[in-house]
């Protein structure tokens, strides 16, 4: 029986909710557990984790920009206002859906390791595993080449226009928001360890409090160079030279060729079907295949009949997470260097085999990877939809807070530490090699059913694939709309192996007790807990010509609509 706590109540939207995107009407239409309403408009919407970034994207839409233009502008602002999570020192993945053709395109703008960064080099330096921070964890940042590729293919406005809001906030300052201040304070020690990072990001030796106005004129200069000279500023020009000087000074091995030769890759998203929806994720080197494997396992069980937030349903979802993540750990990597059995891992037959190992009465704490070959076949996320219905689902990250902790000389940003996700174990798909891309946790996603098309994503390292699967189940099994599906309580596991899960306190005590009785070790977190990640979503109903937006209360952001052209003359 579905707990009434999680019933979605709609106000004047019964026909929409009764479609595959919605929820069930209530006897009391003004009572609901959903905290926020969706943003609904016939114009465009930009949903991000910080309201100023959402507003910047909406302004770009109002100037005639495309969803891709808006996503780039919003992402550039996020690099200013949420600097611990993203910026021009990080990587990017995106999915673009074209409303006219219905075509879906993926972009992998994750950077590669320097050519000279090898297992042999690191072992000679005394490393038994990849360093988690510092200059030797740095890989080539792919984000700006990713922006360039998106703009060339899907942009409408001039390139330089897209960076004006970000330049404004970097020069003039912005009041730091609540969650972002807390993230900032958590990384104080990392920032203090690097002179460049501490000069820029610590004010009088401390991270800024919520409401404090923060300025970053160095980063404004970097963005001005990107706006005026294009992506080459980062990969061949003045910023590239600063990156190389910083690396050389600290004993890094990045070369001019490592930067100049990097190019992003257009890819086809991978997909599965779930309860009538088609769900798309990015292929390796991202973790998207784990989300699809989880959904295929979910499908073997009657989650809606049980109640999508019941103990039975959550038990299955947790067990599916363990199975899919062991496969992720064993098989994911850069497909240009290793053969990744993607088709087998996301096949229905493989999921049926894996699902057989789930005991409905008992949690398994020691789960092994499967054999898919037998079956053949801290981050920022944003989504944007324009008035024509084109959707961009985009995610960008430095990996951990402030990435490597290394600030680039004179330019006010830190470099990512994505190299930390390589392994040094010979024969593993993710073993470090020059010009190889590491395993990536960041994944944008997309799903569609009939006239409904949704761009969505949920941040948070290893949280992401499992959060994606829970979001899809919330829609398909729970009948929730996109805002309620983001808000619904989640569980997460941020490592591999064992029976421990973080779980939000809003899951009823009786459900949690039933899960503990089956052997799960639950660590209760707050009602809207940061480790569960913050998500954003936009939905385009192509039959009605209406757009919907949603923003997760676990972040500081909002889904902001494009302003109407009421004052145009």
Active site residues: 379
* Strand 104-109 relative to strand 265-267, pairing: antiparallel
Tokens, residue 302: 């009657």
Where do the H-state alpha helices sit in 63-216? 67-81, 119-124, 143-154, 164-172, 178-186, 188-192, 195-201
Q: For tokens 């100023």, what's the residue?
A: 52
CA–CA distance, 49 with 379 (Å, rounded to integer): 10
CA–CA distance, 494 with 485 (Å, rounded to integer): 21
Q: Tell me which DSSP letter residue 532 carries.
A: G
Q: What SS3 class is residue 245?
A: helix
Q: If we measure between CA atoms, which residue out of 297, 142, 125 comes closest to residue 231?
A: 142
Helices 67-81 and 164-172 pack at an angle, to 10 degrees, of: 20
CA–CA distance, 137 with 113 (Å, rounded to integer): 9
CA–CA distance, 397 with 418 (Å, rounded to integer): 9
Q: If we measure between CA atoms, which residue out of 456, 419, 457 comes closest to residue 438?
A: 419
Residue 220 C-beta-side C-alpha neighbours within 13 Å: 14
Q: If we measure between CA atoms, which residue out of 69, 40, 89, 6 comes closest to residue 413?
A: 89
Q: Tell me which DSSP letter residue 423 carries.
A: B
**Contact (CB, 8 A) for 144 and 396:** no
CA–CA distance, 480 with 57 (Å, rounded to integer): 27
- What are the residues facing 50 on neighbouring strands? 556
Distance linking the first and last C-alpha atoms of the chain: 57
Reported in sequence order, the residue ranges of 289-426 that DSSP labels E, i.e. its strands, are 379-385, 391-397
**Contact (CB, 8 A) for 149 and 109:** yes
């Amino acid at each position: 029986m579905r707990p009434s706590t999680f019933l979605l109540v709609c106000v004047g939207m019964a026909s929409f909710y009764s479609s595959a995107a919605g929820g069930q009407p209530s006897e009391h239409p003004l009572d609901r557990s959903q905290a926020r309403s969706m943003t609904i408009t016939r114009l465009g919407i930009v949903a991000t984790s910080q309201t100023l970034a959402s507003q910047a994207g909406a302004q770009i839409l109002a100037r005639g920009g495309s969803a891709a233009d808006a996503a780039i502008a919003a992402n550039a602002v996020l690099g200013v206002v949420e600097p611990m999570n993203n910026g021009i020192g990080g990587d990017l993945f995106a999915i673009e859906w074209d409303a006219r053709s219905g075509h879906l395109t993926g972009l992998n703008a994750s950077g590669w390791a320097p050519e000279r960064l090898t297992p042999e080099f690191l072992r000679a330096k005394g490393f038994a595993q990849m360093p988690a921070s510092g200059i030797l964890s740095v890989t080539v940042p792919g984000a700006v080449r990713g922006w360039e590729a998106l703009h060339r293919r899907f942009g409408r406005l001039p390139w330089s226009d897209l960076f004006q809001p970000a330049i404004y906030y970097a020069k003039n300052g912005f009041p730091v928001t609540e969650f972002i201040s807390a993230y900032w304070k958590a990384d104080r020690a990392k920032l203090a360890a690097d002179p460049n990072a501490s000069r820029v990001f610590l004010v009088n030796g401390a991270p800024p409090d919520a409401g404090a106005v923060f300025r970053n004129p160095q980063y404004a200069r970097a963005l001005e160079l990107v706006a005026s000279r294009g992506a080459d500023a980062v990969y061949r020009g003045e910023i590239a030279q600063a990156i190389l000087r910083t690396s050389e000074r600290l004993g890094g091995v990045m070369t001019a060729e490592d930067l100049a030769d990097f190019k992003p890759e257009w890819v086809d998203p991978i997909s599965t079907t779930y309860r009538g929806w088609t769900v798309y994720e990015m292929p390796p080197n991202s973790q998207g295949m784990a989300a699809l494997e989880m959904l295929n396992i979910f499908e073997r069980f009657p989650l809606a009949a049980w109640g999508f937030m019941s103990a039975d349903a959550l038990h299955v979802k947790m067990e599916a997470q363990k199975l899919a993540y062991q496969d992720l750990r064993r098989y994911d990597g850069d497909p240009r260097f290793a053969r990744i059995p993607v088709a087998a891992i996301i096949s229905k037959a493989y999921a049926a085999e894996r699902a057989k190992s789930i005991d409905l009465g008992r949690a398994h704490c020691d789960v092994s990877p499967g054999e898919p070959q037998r079956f053949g076949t801290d981050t920022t996320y944003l989504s944007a939809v324009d008035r024509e219905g084109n959707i961009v689902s985009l995610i960008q990250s430095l990996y951990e807070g402030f990435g490597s902790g290394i600030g680039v000389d004179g330019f006010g940003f830190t470099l990512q530490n994505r190299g930390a996700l390589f392994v040094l174990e010979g024969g593993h798909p993710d073993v470090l090699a020059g010009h190889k891309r590491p395993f990536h946790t960041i994944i944008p996603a997309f799903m569609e059913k009939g006239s409904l098309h949704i761009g969505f994503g949920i941040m948070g390292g290893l949280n992401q694939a499992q959060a994606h699967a829970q979001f899809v189940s919330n829609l398909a099994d729970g009948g929730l709309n996109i805002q309620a599906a983001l808000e619904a309580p989640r569980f997460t596991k941020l490592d591999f192996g064992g029976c421990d899960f973080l779980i939000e306190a809003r899951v009823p005590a009786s459900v949690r007790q039933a899960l503990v009785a089956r052997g799960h070790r639950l660590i209760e977190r707050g009602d809207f807990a940061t480790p569960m990640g913050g998500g954003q979503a936009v939905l385009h109903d192509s039959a009605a010509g209406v757009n919907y937006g949603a923003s997760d209360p676990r972040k500081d952001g909002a889904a902001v609509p494009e302003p109407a052209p009421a004052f145009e003359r």
